[in-house]
Amino acid sequence: MKALFALLALMLSAPVFAQSALPPAPYADRQIADPALERKAKALMETIRCLTCQSQSIADSNASMAADMRSQIREWIMAGEEPEHIRTWLIQRYGDWVSYEPTADPVLWPLWGAPLLLIGLGLLLLRGRIKGRNRS
């Protein structure tokens, strides 16, 4: 019985987030008035990884740090900063880890090469088949 009560209590309890009570930064959840700039900012935010919830982009995350990053990115974009420049700035601080955009780094060459390799392999197999059929 006690265990059941404990379980019920657990189900009713609200999760506690250790986050600040401050209101969010001005542009955390407010779009830039200029839609072209907002598109630019949004595209960048979707490829920047949240440091608190590490499998979400800062565009998806509710963490206060992600909100601060969104606001900062929007403010930089409004100030005329290029998205790729902001990405480089962040990578300088957090490493490649912070960006979801794959780079041309040698580590990633197999990733880029694999599709070509597989298509080549497929064509080779196809050629073998067609040749075999023609013969019979």
Partner 1 sequence: MRKLLIWLPLALFLAFFGLFASGLLKPDDRIITSKLVGQRLPSFSLPAAASDRPALASAQLVTGKPRLLNIFASWCVPCAAEAPQLMALKQAGVEIDAIAIRDARADVDQFLNRYGNPYSRIGLDARSSVQIALGSSGVPESFIIDGKGRIAYQHVGDIRADDVAMILQRMEEAR
Smallest gap from residue 43 Cβ to partner 1 (A): 19
| Interaction between residue 72 and partner 1 (CB under 8 A) | yes
Residues 104/109/115/120 CA torsion (nearest 10 deg)? 120
| Interaction between residue 13 and partner 1 (CB under 8 A) | no
Segment 50 to 69, residues that bind partner 1, using CB under 8 A: 51-52, 54, 64-65, 68-69
Q: Quick check: 61 and 73 in contact, CB under 8 A?
A: no
| Interaction between residue 47 and partner 1 (CB under 8 A) | no
Q: Which of 56, 71, 81, 99 binds partner 1 (CB under 8 A)?
A: 71
Kindly indicate which of the ranges 1-9, 31-39, 95-103, 114-122 contains the residues binding partner 1, using the contact rule CB under 8 A.
95-103
Q: Quick check: 54 and 100 in contact, CB under 8 A?
A: no
Single-letter residue type at 110: P
What ranges in the chain are assigned the alpha helix state H? Answer: 2-12, 35-45, 64-78, 83-94, 109-135
| Interaction between residue 100 and partner 1 (CB under 8 A) | no
Tokens of 35: 């839609």
Residues contributing to the site for partner 1 (CB under 8 A): 18-22, 25, 51-52, 54, 64-65, 68-69, 71-72, 90-95, 97-98
